[in-house]
Amino acid sequence: MQSKVEEADIFIYGKMGPKETNRILMGKVELLKRQLDFSSKINALQENEGKLWLIRESRVEGLLTVQSISYEKTSSKWKMNTPERYLLSNEKGWIRNNARPGSDLFQAIAESVGGIVKLTEENTTPHLPGLLNLLSKNGYDAGNRVNPKVGEETQTTAYTTYTTLRRSKSQDLHLESTIISLPEGILMALSCPLTTKKTGEAKLMKDPVTLVKDGITYERALLLEEYPNLQEGNDFYPNIKLKTIINYIAANSLQSDEYLAKLEKVEEDIQDPVQLITMENPVLSPSGYSYEQSSIAQWIHSKQSDLPVWGNIQPIPDPVTRMDMRGKMLVPNINLRLFIDAWPSFYEEQRLSCQQSLQNS
């Protein structure tokens, strides 16, 4: 009796052709048919003509191919759908590009979004939520995704964070669902890269803290689990503005008008507390508060000018908390800047959605 082949961590298959891909998908259909627990899933797919699909590495670097099968009621057969290609671009993250690779149209589409990203782990990691979101919008339900077995997954190191969730043996045959409802820019700003790497899913942080050395924000518990010797105030700062924003964004279970009221408060949190202008280059103080870079620099300069000659030992107070800032680094608040960049379009979308809901009520 053969031992059971385990599912790989990475949910992207390696390079293979359409025929082999179709064989894997049809094999999954037959497997699910034989499992009593999953007969309802097959019935639902057939009734709704849903897609059973997988994602594989393309022969062209920077592309992934999504191939699917669906049940055609008129012929009572499972049929292979036209494969779709997804391109990782420099300016827009993952986009769909179904033009033939190498063609003028393919090149034109690629150039319109800044060209194809050269694959490295650092380049692809932040774009995982965007890929999941895009696939969901294009009708690929994550619950119907077929994941590779060990040895079938891609060997490209750039995709090491594109992982499935670990499941217990009693759940081995389940196809997990990953629900991403926020746009990529917002998710990139408000999710922890350690969480994405660990689970393959982007989740809003609960207690964001920012590393002094690189300005990247992480979930406090995960960061300290990974690096237990880090100290708050020296190695990382709390990110108070981002935490407040996350609390507002996460309140999307409210009625649409109540949610919009929460979002309106975000405008206050992306303003510099000193000059009351929307920040463009926010920096983080040891106190956990964020300021526009030029604004806090001017504040520090003014406080230093007010001190006597021997004042280099006197404290320089944080504008909000009065904590002594002397000798402490101001850290670029990269995640807050990403959020501010993505905020206007997200807010406008929510505002219009709220108006539509009120008109229909």
Contact 14, 153 (CB under 8 A): yes
Of 118, 132, 139, the closest CA to residue 51 belongs to: 139
pLDDT averaged over every residue in the chain: 81
Of 192, 194, 211, the closest CA to residue 203 belongs to: 192
What's the pLDDT at 2? 37
User: For residues 291, 295, 297 and 303, what is the CA-based torsion angle, rounded to 10 degrees?
Assistant: -100
Domain ranges in the chain are: 18-144, 187-360
β-bridge partners, 278: 271
Cα 187 from Cα 61, distance rounded (Å): 25
Model-level pTM? 0.52
What's the pLDDT at 178? 29
Distance set, CA 163 to CA 47, 48, 95, 115, 143 (Å): 30, 28, 20, 25, 14
β-bridge partners, 70: 51, 79
Distance of CA 296 to the CA centre of its chain: 30
Cα 186 from Cα 173, distance rounded (Å): 32
What's the pLDDT at 137? 81
Per-block mean pLDDT, blocks of 10 residues, the chain (361 long): 55 87 87 63 79 88 88 88 88 86 88 83 69 82 85 81 51 33 81 81 88 92 91 93 90 73 88 93 94 92 62 76 86 93 88 75 58
Neighbours of 104 (CB within 10 A): 9
Enumerate the H helices of 239-333 as residue ranges.
240-249, 256-264, 266-269, 293-306
CATH homologous superfamily of domain 187-360?
Zinc/RING finger domain, C3HC4 (zinc finger) (3.30.40.10)
3-state DSSP assignment of residue 68:
strand
pLDDT digits (tens, 9 = 90+) for 170-223: 333 333 322 336 787 888 889 888 887 777 777 889 999 999 998 999 999 999
Residue 228 tokens, joined: 């237990």
With vertex at residue 180, the alpha carbon angle to CA 158 and CA 133, rounded to the nearest 5 degrees, is: 55
Contact 241, 278 (CB under 8 A): no
144 phi and psi, to 5 degrees? Answer: -110, 15
pLDDT digits (tens, 9 = 90+) for 243-270: 999 988 887 666 777 778 888 889 889 9
What's the pLDDT at 292? 95
**CA neighbours within 13 Å on the CB side: how many for 306?**
10
Residue 245 tokens, joined: 């924003």
105 phi and psi, to 5 degrees? Answer: -65, -40
Contact 205, 246 (CB under 8 A): yes
Cα 87 from Cα 61, distance rounded (Å): 9
Amino acid letter for position 87: L
